[in-house]
Structure 1
């Protein structure tokens, strides 16, 4: 007993000494950490307030933008702007004062000259100081622009009146004054100050701080550079943590600087921790006393719980997660026992989850490829009839770009919900890639599978509302059937994928696998693979189709047409390999080869005294880069060919993929001296309204309107009207697909400039074309 008591006393003394040291160290460490935490809290408050500040500024800018959108789309305002009636414009502006409150409005023409102004310092007739900067911001997709007007900081937002092209600009300028600063202070709990500096002169300070601090704040703003660093400052005996931001974003230093100072009061934060420090002192003393009293009890009770926990650890190590640790204690050892139980339950759940994740899609929870192939194999083994629907979302990438990752995930979840609700319980819906699903319908025939696909298409084609925007899925499906289309899971899967690929390439949304489509699919794969090396292997060649000048009867132009002599399949039609090149990303490689080969041929003909203008087709992929004009210029210089001997033919659909960038590339080509022609006019996006924006000199009427041209047909009305309107726009007109003499006579009568087609000549290789041209000239 004495030994036991002596042992307990020794443990109690050691524990008491350790507790005294630990609690004392913790107290002083916490006291030191309190000061650091106060500073960190002030700094976090400053960072959070800075983010609130930036988001609120963006929110106000978007709010102003919404008001401007209402204004610029208002029928009365647009009519007043288009007619140029200042008084009616002002009346329309007064109608929208509520949605654009606290803002000064300016109406500008497209050159930036002020038509109507609210500020007296910027009267009508002057050029708006930030007109060019606002245009650049709009091109850069920036909503707001911050600058200095009337020696005060302003946040400016621009709207454009379209009819349908831009005709006028409306600028809403909101002053960043004391009212704006107070509103920011309410939201961010920070002191806010704004100052504009232009030409070395400071404007009036707008601040939430007392006026007595104004001079010190102005001096601080002028003496310290803006940036992400946190500044410690003291004004009128008060300490602050602050961050200095530069808001002006016009890109021109001559427009001045707008600076914002965000300050978090450090003294208030430290004061909030004073009571906490006192409370922690009393808590520490109480904890020390309680620890001394419990030392003996802890020494006596510590051995039994430890042995129980050790036994539990050994059991968990052996993989037994079913037996819990029973320890009815409320101290740390009891908590540790609960933690042991939670740990073993967590390990069991994670093992189950890992097994589930190995066979299911992590986003939708649907079976993945491995699990659906396993179920398909089981159905085949049991000889149950199976319909496999391979469903793909064709506009997946476009949805991802427009809706973002969160919107895309929401769309996938809604699609999953539709599939689960539509399929019977015995069926399986699986997600096998990001945009592809596989539907396994057991004990089902092909007719029922087609009916199910029709039902799914009807449901999935309904627009989905994502964050206030309607998103419509472009769904294509392919069907394969066991045992008709294959005897293994891999065969059925591959053939359903082929059917889905056919559905994407053809009209409609659904295709049932057709026998021998594997061969066509393998041919496409072989062509895509070989297309990358066709130019380097010498398999590509060009044929030239003459273009007849209908006024002079001479041929001084031709179109370069790409052809492919495949070593296995022979001559492959452009209608087959051009779409494959566009899908596989090889189109630019082909265009580069055609351009160089055509320029090289022009140089050869020039040396022989045969001076021609050659037309070359370029695609949407060629307009995506920035170096096309420089590349062509380098080739023209290398082969000493004049730029006027080239004409690039483009379709309006190619330009519409990225209009702004495409127009910049076309202007660069036009500045080099290369002529531009609109190909396939009358199809796709073609319209005379779009022609106004394109820097083209020629229009090419699509052959579908010319091939069966008859004076009494609807095509005649279209062709004749197009020729007249194009001439009024200063464009030359080429009619392609001329195959009959009466069609040529009609085109001559309607004063079409150029004709091209089999009536004149089929496409010829270079030698045959040269011989044909020499014979034509000799006959003439």
Structure 2
């Protein structure tokens, strides 16, 4: 039958809901009652355990007092001192009968038996018994005793007296009456029961160790708590003793069953009353219910703007107020969630999600503008030196200063870590450059936190975007590439140029291919001859690294050497150069070509702790005196860590290696450093040599440098000699050695040998 009346349907709904709630409550009550009964049983068992512990403690104190009475008896002590065996036994028997002691043992100070009811061998050692603070439980002749061992002094120690009460079924039943829980004493491992308050049948099932203990307890319908007595495990038997406190579940749950029955009767009564109440209230709830239904539909659709207007003084008015409060709270949480999703929590700037959305919207709407990516140079060092808290506060200060510097239409976001992104829709290149100048001026001002200032340096990359033609990820990648280039060039800002992607990809390919090239020895050493300036005789060579890759083609040293330094591959690279160069030099010496060999060392090489040992071992292995080997270092390489670098160079020089200062005159503080460097040779940079024949300024610089070197007793080398006129000027000025393309370009070993032979023949002719 179809019911058309909404009120009737509402009434039936109330009845069904009430019945459902009551049924659910009954089920829940049943579950809660079962859970509560288990918890009650657990608490009762824990209480029983505490009562048991206290009873055992009281029993231990009584035993202690009884033992003290015995040992304090003057006649007993006199009997022990006189070794009157009959008196001792009589005293023990009389005292034992008075206090109901089942075990009595008297031992001399060495632990030997004087008088005993049980064999001394069945007892633990005196040290083990006295080491336990409370009266321990022990297993003697298949019985459990609670014992106490006390000294007998007259006044010095003359014996040890041990008294013990038997722990048996009678005691277990007595304890059961006091603790209100059955108590069973069971040995760990064998699970043999020595005493229990359980019935014989229950005890038989509990002691059957053919099935797990949990299953036996479940079979007996017992709730149990087990105390392993770990503090007396060494005295209770080979594997220790455990006490099982148990109680019948059915008996414990009886009161809860009555409670369930009472609740069921109350539920039936409530159902009747609810039916009457539903009839009375069904008429009044239709209108506010409809309003609440509409409100909940709006909330479900995400509309949190319109308030819920139920102005009543009854419960529905309160419900409407509660709904309104809920609507407001949900709206606030929604705003907070959206804010956290779209903003960086540290700086409260828009994050990567917002940045990508903002850029995507600008591009899709065909807007144009510029992106500036700004990062903090070596911010990781700030984090390491001053801690995470200072670093976070600095990032917050950067965000605040950037926000204060920028105005519309510039938009600021934090990309990640120490990277910030500025987006200027509609901005032109002059406006961007003007902003960059202002940023550079302001950002490199000191950053004050409390009473401390910090100097930070920044690098940035920028590029334009055109509406509809760019992908957001590509724009950000290009901006990061420019910022990275700015860091490498030590500049504040670098603009994106066509071809930067290709350069970046090539560098990435070089970084990936270099380890394999070193490992598989695909590199090659070329040698450029060094000639005595006065005679033109070849006196040595400089080893220069060359690399030709099947995919990358010719890779120039100025391409892969900096990358090798950045990735740490320079160490293996230098080891290979030393090994290959010295092996070739040894071969030439065997052939009669007494040449010196010059090799370059980088700043990272000078920081290697194994550099000196590696060079010494390689020279010794090849049979070459260190005097034939010249190590070229630049001023900038030494200045990376002057103290360590100078110490290594001094150590190498003391071993006989020659030290040359390469590219002299292009570094900083040249004169100041020269007098402190352990050097044998100055190598003039090609920038002073290439125009030497035609430039009086260069001649003046070279002449003064050569004069300084001669005063300091340093050999001199001029590189970059490309014509005879330059050679002649260097001869006139007194330069020691020359090298350059005028004589020969760097050659492979075989090609150099051919060139050397031709050069020597030309000199002889």
Q: Which residue of 2 aligns with 1:85?
A: none
Q: Which residue of 1 aligns with 2:519?
A: 536
**1:520 and 2:503 equivalent?**
yes
Q: Distance in 1 between matches of 2:456 and 2:468?
A: 28
Per the alignment, do residues 468 and 750 of structure 1 end up closer, same or farther by CA in structure 2, a change over 3 Å counting? farther
Q: Which residue of 2 aligns with 1:617?
A: 600
State the structure with more CA Rg. Answer: 2
Q: Distance in 1 between matches of 2:340 and 2:758?
A: 75
Per the alignment, do residues 347 and 699 of structure 1 end up closer, same or farther by CA in structure 2, a change over 3 Å counting? farther
**1:414 and 2:429 equivalent?**
no
Q: Distance in 1 between matches of 2:407 and 2:483?
A: 22
Q: Which residue of 1 aligns with 2:493?
A: 510
| C-alpha contact 1:379 1:386 (8 A) present in aligned 2 | no
Offset at residue 774 of structure 1 (A) = 1.8
| C-alpha contact 2:688 2:698 (8 A) present in aligned 1 | yes
| C-alpha contact 1:486 1:492 (8 A) present in aligned 2 | no
Q: Which residue of 1 aligns with 2:708?
A: 725
Q: Which runs of 5+ in 1 are unaligned?
A: 1-318, 324-344
Q: Which residue of 1 aligns with 2:697?
A: 714
| C-alpha contact 1:677 1:699 (8 A) present in aligned 2 | yes
Q: Distance in 2 between matches of 1:602 and 1:359?
A: 65
| C-alpha contact 2:681 2:717 (8 A) present in aligned 1 | yes
1:27-66 equivalence runs, <5 A: none
**1:735 and 2:718 equivalent?**
yes
Q: Which residue of 2 aligns with 1:88?
A: none
Q: Distance in 1 between matches of 2:390 and 2:542?
A: 46
Offset at residue 480 of structure 1 (A) = 2.4
| C-alpha contact 1:557 1:613 (8 A) present in aligned 2 | yes
Q: Deviations over 1:509-550 (max 9, x none)?
A: 333322343222211211122122221233311110111112
| C-alpha contact 2:383 2:391 (8 A) present in aligned 1 | yes
1:424-435 equivalence runs, <5 A: 424-425=407-408, 427-435=410-418
Offset at residue 346 of structure 1 (A) = 12
Q: Which residue of 1 aligns with 2:440?
A: 457
Q: Which residue of 2 aligns with 1:628?
A: 611
| C-alpha contact 2:531 2:739 (8 A) present in aligned 1 | yes
1:19-418 equivalence runs, <5 A: 356-397=339-380, 399-400=382-383, 405=388, 407-418=390-401
Q: Distance in 2 between matches of 1:739 and 1:700?
A: 16
Secondary structure of 1:641's counterpart equals coil
Q: Which residue of 2 aligns with 1:758?
A: 741
Q: Distance in 2 between matches of 1:687 and 1:670?
A: 20
Q: Distance in 1 between matches of 2:513 and 2:583?
A: 24
Offset at residue 741 of structure 1 (A) = 1.6
Per the alignment, do residues 740 and 517 of structure 1 end up closer, same or farther by CA in structure 2, a change over 3 Å counting? same
Q: Which residue of 2 aligns with 1:581?
A: 564
Per the alignment, do residues 675 and 404 of structure 1 end up closer, same or farther by CA in structure 2, a change over 3 Å counting? farther
| Counterpart pick for 1:444 among 423, 427, 447 | 427
Offset at residue 485 of structure 1 (A) = 9.6
| C-alpha contact 2:486 2:492 (8 A) present in aligned 1 | yes
TM-score normalized by structure 2?
0.54
| Counterpart pick for 1:655 among 614, 635, 638 | 638
Q: Which residue of 2 aligns with 1:641?
A: 624
Per the alignment, do residues 678 and 465 of structure 1 end up closer, same or farther by CA in structure 2, a change over 3 Å counting? farther
Offset at residue 712 of structure 1 (A) = 5.4
* RMSD after superposition: 3.6
Q: Distance in 1 between matches of 2:637 and 2:695?
A: 33
Q: Which residue of 2 aligns with 1:564?
A: 547
Offset at residue 736 of structure 1 (A) = 0.9
Q: Which residue of 2 aligns with 1:598?
A: 581
Q: Which residue of 2 aligns with 1:240?
A: none
Offset at residue 349 of structure 1 (A) = 9.2
**1:549 and 2:532 equivalent?**
yes
Q: Which residue of 1 aligns with 2:484?
A: 501
Offset at residue 691 of structure 1 (A) = 1.4
Offset at residue 466 of structure 1 (A) = 6.2
Q: Distance in 1 between matches of 2:668 and 2:330?
A: 60
Per the alignment, do residues 719 and 372 of structure 1 end up closer, same or farther by CA in structure 2, a change over 3 Å counting? same
Offset at residue 426 of structure 1 (A) = 5.0
Offset at residue 357 of structure 1 (A) = 4.8
Q: Distance in 2 between matches of 1:751 and 1:575?
A: 31
| C-alpha contact 1:643 1:674 (8 A) present in aligned 2 | yes
| C-alpha contact 1:485 1:513 (8 A) present in aligned 2 | no
Offset at residue 613 of structure 1 (A) = 0.9
TM-score normalized by structure 1?
0.53
Secondary structure of 1:480's counterpart equals strand
**1:482 and 2:482 equivalent?**
no
Q: Which runs of 5+ in 2 are unaligned?
A: 1-299, 301-306, 309-327
Q: Distance in 1 between matches of 2:468 and 2:375?
A: 20
Per the alignment, do residues 353 and 617 of structure 1 end up closer, same or farther by CA in structure 2, a change over 3 Å counting? farther
| C-alpha contact 2:363 2:469 (8 A) present in aligned 1 | no
Offset at residue 686 of structure 1 (A) = 4.8
Offset at residue 467 of structure 1 (A) = 7.4
